Structure 1
Amino acid sequence: MSWIKLISYKESTGKLRRLYDKVTGPNHNVDNIMMVHGLRPHTMVGHMSLYKNVLHNSNNTLPKWYLEVLGVYVSMLNHCEYCIEHHYSGLKRLLKDDNRSEEIRKGLQNRMFLNILNDKFVQGLIYAEKLTLEASNIKEKEVVALRELGLTDGEILEINQVVSYFNYANRTVLGLGVSTKGDILGLSPNDSSDETNWNHQ
């Protein structure tokens, strides 16, 4: 499940048990990406706070399913199967349309999004790719292109933060050999109005 020691829910005590209780899914399941923080619980606090606010906050105005699309695409670019499978499952749950979800996945795999998403969402994926693979080459024109297609500056910030978060999460997973073994795919914090509610359902 990881190349470093994981502390299971049953083994956890004190602060770590309290944090696990905040992020558990059914039957006290804790995703491996969270369990990998067990030796330094304070890093889990930072990770979950960032994740919850970037991807699951009611103040976001872009559709949550699109934020998941960005996450899946960034994870594909980084070859992070863990995050691909988790967030593709989340995307399917949000869209409630398996055919549409599969169409999007194939489009992302082939980098052919023009026929599956509208222009501003396609431009968001182009920005995501450049920010992931060539961050030092990003220019103002990339942001201007997003704005010209109707995205507000706040929505551009949402895209930037989701892309940045997934690059962080991918590197956490890939750098520590985190697998999906034992995880329940597709769970996420559902109460977007409460940034302190991290419970996964």
Structure 2
Amino acid sequence: MPWIDTVAYEDADGKLKRLYDRVKGPDNNVDNIMMMHSLRPHSMEGHMAIYKYVLHHSGNTIPKWFLETLGVWVSSLNDCNYCVIHHFSGLERLLDDDQKSQAIKAAIDAQNFDNAPLDDRQKVAMEYARQLTRDPGGMQEDIVRRLRDAGYTDGEILEINQVSAYFSYANRTVLGLGCSTKGDILGLSPNKSDDPDDWSHS
């Protein structure tokens, strides 16, 4: 049970019901992280908008599976098992390579991405995400230069920044309110990236 009251799908009405209908998956399932916002639907609307635009938007050029990898990495650093479980399931589906995805997960679990089957530029992005998560006040411009030198455009650096920042927000929503995976369908996400207003989970 979460640490605050939440409103179940079948008990929702008005704006909350309309939002639930936008974000729901099969059998009217609403992810628990979204239900955490049910007493303040406007904050659910804001959360879902930034999630969709940061992680599931056709304007991104970094592969979605790697953005999910960054999310799993940040969530692991923050000890947020809810987001690790959910987004690793999404990563597995997107990557469609069990051996590689399991090797990535093992490296993340060990908090040693050097052992992950990632290329050098992806490892620089993982280092950026680690620094931003663990020591945001200690960030220096040098890490951005390293991302550029690795071949990322400034727009892609922004993508890495926003995904890393979003997951720390999501992790704190989950950890601060006692959100669990009980009743969730793992690995669903708003996959229609070409339509930023389609929030449905599949």
Q: TM-score range by the shorter chain?
A: over 0.9
Q: For residues 4 and 114 of structure 2, what CA distance do their matches in structure 1 show?
A: 41
Partner of 1:157: 158
Q: For residues 113 and 9 of structure 1, what CA distance do their matches in structure 2 show?
A: 39
Amino acid of the structure 2 residue aligned with 1:155: E
Q: Cα distance, 1:99 vs. partner?
A: 1.5
Partner of 1:117: 118
Amino acid of the structure 2 residue aligned with 1:89: S
Please state if 1:108 is matched with 2:108.
yes
CA-atom RMSD in angstroms: 0.7
Q: TM (normalized to structure 2)?
A: 0.98
Amino acid of the structure 2 residue aligned with 1:103: A
Q: TM (normalized to structure 1)?
A: 0.98
Q: For residues 111 and 82 of structure 1, what CA distance do their matches in structure 2 show?
A: 17
Q: For residues 114 and 58 of structure 1, what CA distance do their matches in structure 2 show?
A: 29
Q: For residues 3 and 98 of structure 2, what CA distance do their matches in structure 1 show?
A: 34
Partner of 1:21: 21
**Can you list the C-alpha shifts for 1:111-131, whole angstroms capped at 9, x where unaligned?**
333351001100000000000
Q: For residues 72-111 of structure 1, what are the structure 2 equivalents within 5 Å?
A: 72-111=72-111
Q: For residues 124-143 of structure 1, what are the structure 2 equivalents within 5 Å?
A: 124-143=125-144
Q: Which runs of 5+ in 2 are unaligned?
A: none
Percent of residue pairs bearing the same amino acid type: 58
Partner of 1:36: 36
Amino acid of the structure 1 residue aligned with 2:67: L
Q: For residues 108 and 152 of structure 1, what CA distance do their matches in structure 2 show?
A: 25
Amino acid of the structure 1 residue aligned with 2:54: V
Amino acid of the structure 2 residue aligned with 1:197: D
Q: Cα distance, 1:98 vs. partner?
A: 1.5
- SS for the counterpart of 1:114 is helix
Partner of 1:4: 4
Q: For residues 53 and 27 of structure 1, what CA distance do their matches in structure 2 show?
A: 25
Q: Cα distance, 1:2 vs. partner?
A: 1.0
Q: For residues 73 and 155 of structure 1, what CA distance do their matches in structure 2 show?
A: 18
- SS for the counterpart of 1:181 is coil
Amino acid of the structure 2 residue aligned with 1:190: N
- The number of equivalent residue pairs is 201
- SS for the counterpart of 1:73 is helix
Q: Which runs of 5+ in 1 are unaligned?
A: none
Q: For residues 151 and 31 of structure 1, what CA distance do their matches in structure 2 show?
A: 33
Q: Cα distance, 1:107 vs. partner?
A: 1.2
Please state if 1:56 is matched with 2:45.
no
- SS for the counterpart of 1:58 is coil
- SS for the counterpart of 2:99 is helix
Q: For residues 190 and 176 of structure 1, what CA distance do their matches in structure 2 show?
A: 26
Greater shift, 115-124 or 159-168, is seen at 115-124
Partner of 1:68: 68
**Can you list the C-alpha shifts for 1:38-78, whole angstroms capped at 9, x where unaligned?**
00000001000000000000000000000000000000000
Greater shift, 123-132 or 111-120, is seen at 111-120
Q: For residues 185 and 110 of structure 1, what CA distance do their matches in structure 2 show?
A: 23
